[in-house]
Structure 1
Amino acid sequence: MTRSRSHALWLLAATLLCAAPVLAQAPASAPRPAAPQALSDVLKVPRPPGGEWLGLYLMDKKVGYFFTDVSLVPGRKDQLRAVTELVFKATVGTKLSERVHREERVYEAKPGGRLLSFVVDQRGDGGTQRLEATNTPSGLKVVRKRPGQPNEVLTVAASAEKTEDADQARVAIYRKAAVEGTITDGTDLEGYKVTTTTEPAEERMVRGVKVRLSRAQTISEKEKVPVTAYFTEDGEMVEVDFGQTMKARAETETVAKRLDVVEVFGLTRIVLPKKLPIEARAVPGRAVLVMTGLPEKFQQDSYRQKYVKLPDGRVEVTLLSDFPKTSNLKQLPVTDPEGGENLKATLIVESDNAEIRNLAKTLVGSQKDAYTAAKKIVAWVAKNLAKDYGASADRASDVLRQRKGDCTEHSLLAVALLRAAGIPARRIDGVVYMVNEDGVPAFYWHEWIEAYVGEWTQMDPTFDQPVADATHFGVGQEGNAEITPLIGQLKVVEVRDKPSTAMKP
């Protein structure tokens, strides 16, 4: 059984708080202004004093909460701080998954003021670490601290984040205009474009009273999920919608921290009307499904998935699996057909880590055929990582050290090893077919990989599949929260024996 996309949900919830990331002291050398300065619009907008608490609901079940606040740094009028704390807690299989993510950021308080520093604290599922960052025009210096590990010092490109990015939603409503900026992500340290636009106000009942609510929609180029926040005239954030699946609602601190007991496997699975045919597990193999709730942007034909539109919003999906063609196979190292992104070493996919590079070299040995080398790596990951759904890690080197995890850890380490061996690779998010103890045929949220060995081929290191069989339906890449709104909306209404004759070749 594989873990539900709790990490994607956590990423998505954190996206809202590009409207509120935050506290670290600015660098000691930061000069104080000689005279009072103009304040950014982010400090002019109304908001509740002391911060706000919101409960986080997945399909109407309480799975977490967050706190957010933006204010001047105590004792200083030239610096602004933004604070975000997010807690996610649910049962995953038989294990309790709990994740805490807290960010404190400091900006210049003037209009267009730059990000000065930030601290990110993470605990629980995914690992425990602290990132302390100082931003200067020449670069973002980050000290990474982990229990029992030596500190790491990283220097990446300087952050372009501005003080208005600390709360784009309220600033957009205040200005009655779109706000565009950059947020430096607190997990991968990459900068992502974030844009907020205003939408027509609407009336709603809030605590038994009809009130007029302003609306702002924020979208990040990372998650690509529109996040809509609703505010009263006094600046209180009463609700945030992450699509139809997940919402945040304003609550008191006591109520916000009162969580439901949620088992995410059962809550988020997609039940099928009947079992898939045996040929779905064969290679070559095939499965044919009729789905609803699948937006058109996900209906892109590929070598593994074909789509035919049907009446009433339904779509026929044919899932295919086959071995890569021998005539297409390449020798190591393989050039990335997408310009190098799938060979890139990142803070998460640490393919430049010495231990990962050495292991990749050992596993591949003298093998030159890329597909054979990829199979060796996938098989090693499948055999040497314990299947543990309560021991997640967010970086490949941590996965290698702990040697356990769920589908996300298997995929992350496999991709890092493949890239280290000179094979372009990426993670694939979607669902996989299983029949669990209750006998109900269903799709469960899952992650596997895709490697370029002369052509793209999908492989599953969790289930030790050198070709991911036709029980896998992919909808996204690289742990991206873009797929999160599908949870609870995607349905399988029919399992067919063969595809429509209208299917494209």
Structure 2
Amino acid sequence: MKTTAPSLVRRGTMTRTHRPTLLALVPLCALLVGAPSALARAPAPAAKATATQAPVSDVVKAARPKGGEFFGLYLMDKKVGWLFTDLEVLPGQPARVKTTNQLVFKAMVGSRVSERMHDEERIYEAKPGGRLLSFVVKQTGDGGTQTLVGTATADGFQVVRKRPGRPDETLPKRPPTKERVEDADPPRVALLRKAKVTGFSLDGMDLESYGLSTTVEPEEQRTINGVQVKLGKAVTVSEKEKVPVVSYITQRGEMVLVDYGTTMQARKETEAVAKRLDLVEVFGLTRVVLPKPLPESARTVPGHVTLVVQGLPAKFQQQTYRQQFKPQADGSVEVTLSAAAPKARKPLPLKDPEGGENLKSTLVVESDAPAIRELAKQIVGTDKDAYRIAQKVNTWVYSNLEKDYGASADRATDVLSQKKGDCTEHSLLSVALLRAAGVPARRVDGVIYMMNQDGVPALYWHEWVEAFVGEWTQLDPTFNQVVADATHFAFGKEGNAEITPLIGALKVTAVK
């Protein structure tokens, strides 16, 4: 995966090239920069509204500093980026509200510097329940450059995508969004009302809408800059990320701290301090060191390995065809990872066992793009065996993509155009080609065993592929494994930020 965006430093993910991927930051970054989703939108500060003839939303009435707020972004107490948020009432009638969110994520990946910038502006009606009227989303740096310009219409949202060196592209019209102006800053609205609030977020990464829920918890005493302060506390959960994001706000409406699980934190700082970064080397920071190397049985197919793991919540301990869990008396869990070629192989056409999501063309996967569809036909030929098709795609991607961390891309057509990338690009293009060929497929996020130049056996964040060929099977196009071996330990799918809190929390105490 890559950085800045689930994948540690890449759109949500951070990754490397032939090195393992740090997925969690992308999901994480995706969360930070996605619409009013969790961290990025939670601390949206706003200027006080001026008097208007018409009623205004509670999001305007809520106290907040004028001119916006800067936050330093910390991963495991190391600063890896900064965030700026603002909310203001625009002059004129009828009144409008503009929100601004800027995210910069910067870190070392091996000897390279990876940087991702994500800027958003949104315009809403200022009245209670005011609609989202327009947005501009700009993404630059690691992951590629693009601008999305969205405008509300009577029956939905029209979005134009702009990319350097390409003609502007009018995307298929999006359905109407349920996002309202209160969704721009749910923590402050909830604290103002002293009640739970629910809403929706049009995500700035995939342009899909997700539910939001924010609850108010008892006030807490915290030491801020050496002073004891009573802080309001609100917890926001997005239907997309599913990770509780806790916002701490002063009585004057200043958001001073945001906790993203136990791994990531946003701390209010001056602009100068917020932009002063640590330039952390993320692979070494986030890897899971092993007590000893994995046995050779983990690298063969069929093969297996057993680990004893601490810090893995029960919701990640789901029994699958590759992973079996046994809780231990001390709170740890024994997990046996296994790998074997699929036994149930079926011909096309295939139905997606999950209802169609794994055959869907999206803003990122782009399996309906003409270039993707044409390449899929060339690779597959007349073959109808789903597993052979998956093998062909896996081998083509491995053979034709240069292993280059610095050539990150967030969209399948960009990956195909540049033919470079790390595990995120390999997985993304593979999934797009498989879906275009009619094989249900999705990306898998987790860790993989590697021993780098320092000789320390460890698990590193990585992304690979899962395809349905009559039964589910996993492949790794980055390493040309038509069956991903048992060194792959999966936690989530599609760069989901839900797994981000695992970074820094996992510990392997035994290898069997």
TM-score under structure 1 normalisation?
0.94
Q: Output the CA distance in 2 between the equivalents of 1:150 and 1:324.
A: 43
Partner amino acid, structure 2, of 1:184 = L
| Cα deviation digits, residues 275-311 of structure 1 (max 9, x gap) | 0000100000001000000000000000000000002
Structure 1 residue 94: deviation in Å? 2.2
CA distance in 2, matches of 1:272, 1:74: 59
Give the one of 39, 58, 62 matched to 1:16.
39
Q: Cα offset for 1:412?
A: 0.5
In 1: Cα distance, 2:508 partner to 2:500 partner: 17
- Cα deviation for residue 269 of structure 1 reads 0.2
Q: Confirm or deny: 8 A CA contact 1:329 1:453 kept in the other structure.
A: yes
Quick check: 1:22–1:106 contact (8 Å CA) kept in 2?
no
Residue 413 of structure 1: aligned partner? 429
TM superposition shift of 1:343: 0.5
List runs of 5+ in structure 1 lacking aligned partners: 24-34, 497-505
**Kindly, what percent of the aligned residue pairs are identical?**
62
1:145 aligns with 2:162: yes
The reply to whether residue 383 of structure 1 matches residue 406 of structure 2 is no
Query: CA 1:238/1:213 → structure 2, altered by over 3 Å: closer, same or farther?
Result: same
Q: What is aligned with 1:428?
A: 444
User: In the alignment, which residue of structure 2 is the partner of 1:230?
Assistant: 248
One of 260, 271, 289 as aligned partner of 1:242:
260
Give per-residue Cα distances to partners, 1:53-108, cap 9 Å, x unaligned: 00000001000000001110245561001110010000112221100001000000
Match of 1:203 among 221, 227, 231: 221
Asked whether the equivalents of residues 333 and 421 of structure 1 are also in contact (C-alpha less than 8 Å), the reply is no
Tell me which residue corresponds to 1:29.
Answer: none
Displacement after TM superposition at 1:21 (Å)? 6.7
> Where do 1:35-434 residues align within 5 Å?
36-75=53-92, 78-154=95-171, 155-325=173-343, 328-434=344-450
Inter-partner Cα distance in structure 2 for 1:323 and 1:243: 36
Higher mean C-alpha displacement, 441-450 vs 14-23: 14-23
Partner residue in 2 for 1:457: 473
> More deviation in 99-108 or 73-82?
73-82
Q: 129-138 or 245-254, which moves further after superposition?
A: 129-138
**Per-residue deviation, 1:368:** 1.2
In the TM superposition, what is the alpha-carbon distance from 1:334 to its structure 2 partner? 1.3
Note the C-alpha offset of 1:346: 0.7
Counterpart amino acid of residue 219 in structure 1: V
TM-aligned CA deviation for residue 208 of structure 1: 1.6
Q: Deviations over 1:132-180 (max 9, x none)?
A: 1101230110111111111001121121110000100100000011111
Measure how far apart 1:3 and its partner are. Answer: 2.8
Secondary structure of the 2:70 match is: strand
Indicate conservation of the 8 Å contact 2:89/2:97, yes or no: yes
1:329–1:455 CA contact under 8 A, matched in 2: yes
Query: C-alpha separation between the residues in 1 aligned to 2:477 and 2:96?
Result: 48
Kept in 2: contact 1:129–1:146 (CA 8 A)? yes
2:8 maps to: none
Cα distance between partner residues in 2 of 1:269 and 1:141: 42
- The reply to whether residue 2 of structure 1 matches residue 20 of structure 2 is yes
CA distance in 2, matches of 1:3, 1:90: 13
SS in structure 2 opposite 1:311? coil
In structure 2, distance between residues paired with 1:17 and 1:77 = 27
CA displacement at 1:421 relative to structure 2 = 0.3
Given the superposition, is the C-alpha separation of residues 344 and 21 from structure 1 closer, same or farther in structure 2, using an over 3 Å criterion? Answer: farther
Q: How far apart, CA to CA, are the structure 2 residues paired with 1:279 and 1:342? A: 31
Q: CA deviation at 1:205?
A: 1.1
Distance 1:340 1:427 in 2: 15
Give the Cα separation in 1 of the matches to 2:273 and 2:328.
Answer: 45
4+ aligned runs moved over 2 Å, structure 1? 12-15, 17-23, 74-77
RMSD, matched Cα: 1.3
Quick check: 2:404–2:420 contact (8 Å CA) kept in 1?
yes
Preserved contact between residue 4 and residue 92 of structure 1 (Cα < 8 Å)? no
Shift of 1:13: 2.5
Q: In the alignment, does 2:499 pair up with 1:495?
A: no
Deviation string 1:332-372 (CA, Å, 9 cap, x unpaired) is 12111111111011111111000000000110001111100
Distance in structure 1 (CA, Å) of the matches to 2:31 and 2:169: 27
